[in-house]
Amino acid sequence: MKKQEKGKRYTNRANIWLGMMTKDIMQEMAKTGFNGKRLGEARYIYKKMLEDKNCVKIMSAAGALVAAGMRNIFVKAITNGLVDVFVATGGSILTHDLIEAFGIRHEQGTDKIDDVKLMKKGIDRIHDVLLPNKGYVIVEQELRKILPLLPQERMAPSTFLRHLGKHIKDENSIIRACYEKNVPIFCPSITDSILGFQLWMYSQHHDLRVDSQLDIKEFLDLTWKKKHYGLIVLGGGVPKHFVAGMLPVTGNTLNYAIQITSDVPQFGGLSGATLQEAKSWGKVAPDALITDIICDATIAFPLLISSLL
């Protein structure tokens, strides 16, 4: 991040003012230290990705970000051209998107609550967010209507999700937004979700089935062309690992990378591993523009995206 900082090497120049816009505060944060500085850098790096016409922008998402109310932020990012490829978990991102698409809402709650009572009332807790369990019933009901309309064949999760997107009516759906903007969605761990489970149930008596292994080919096909690649990691997990692991197969590396996570590198897990460490693996280019922000994505993600619109 040398270039950005030229002539601005002092902290304590960061300022605030009345009527400040989110892009302003991101610029000011870039003049500070610690994670504030890194969040400011993230906007700078994302802008570089957007200016680089040769750059494929991949967003990976894990964690209960839809439950926590980030759904519209994803949709805005997708519809505004900030995302070319989306990689997500099947549960917390895609199944929860479907739950909302089919009319069940995640509700603000608290973590100071009796979980056994919640269970008896049919309410699932995700830290301080509450979800009526019937959301999963409705996902099952609606999928049973939609699945017969899809090609009855073995297909990659990404292929399935594109077909599914066609049949989602909710304009605030991430899956639909990706379909409309022709953004492929990869979900290599779809088996580990209610969506994957429903597909398995359906496959007991039908020929439509998803095969995660086919997403490898789909992803490689996207990346055979030598291009620049940029990754925005939200939360880590399988989506981060898959992108960073598959890109080198086609001789590519990440030229830009932004990581927003609540995990830290000191415990050795992938979600907390720094983007710097990924250089040793050849997953990130030696001269890539990178920054890792340790921050709840419910704060950093809307701030970052709103500052780029």
Sites for a second copy among residues 55-114 (CB under 8 A): 62-64, 66-73, 76, 91-92, 100, 105-108, 111-112
Contact pick of 194, 222, 232, 233 for a second copy (by CB under 8 A): 194
In the residue annotation, 283 being an active-site residue is answered as yes
Which CB sits closer to a second copy, 56 or 278? 278
Of 52-60, 144-152, 161-169, 197-205: span binding a second copy (CB under 8 A): 197-205
Residues in 223-262 that interact with a second copy by CB under 8 A = 235, 237-238, 241-242, 245-246, 249, 262
Distance separating alpha carbons of residues 68 and 229, to the nearest angstrom: 28
Which CB sits closer to a second copy, 56 or 305? 305
Grouping H, G, I as helix, E, B as strand and the rest as coil, residue 175 is helix
Classify residue 39 by burial, with Cβ atoms within 10 Å: 0-12, 13-18, 19+: buried
Catalytic residue (one of 31, 37, 240, 283): 283
Binding status of residue 192 toward a second copy by CB under 8 A: yes
Q: How far is CA 39 from CA 64, 295, 297, 302, in A?
A: 21, 9, 11, 12
Distance separating alpha carbons of residues 9 and 261, to the nearest angstrom: 26
Per-residue buried b or exposed e for 183-203, using 16+ beta carbons within 10 Å of the residue's own CB:
bbbbbbbbbebbbbbbbeebe
Which CB sits closer to a second copy, 151 or 269? 269
- In the complex, minimum distance from the CB of residue 5 to a second copy, in angstroms, rounded to a whole number: 5
Residue 227 CB: number of other CB atoms within 10 A?
15
Q: Which phi and psi (to 5°) does residue 192 adopt?
A: -90, 60
Residues in 37-56 that interact with a second copy by CB under 8 A = 37, 39
Which CB sits closer to a second copy, 106 or 228? 106
Residues in 282-301 that interact with a second copy by CB under 8 A = 282, 286, 294-296, 298-300
Contacts of 43 (CB under 8 A, 6+ apart): 23, 26, 27, 30, 304, 307, 308
Of 17-25, 48-56, 143-151, 161-169: span binding a second copy (CB under 8 A): 17-25
Query: Annotated active-site positions, please?
Result: 283
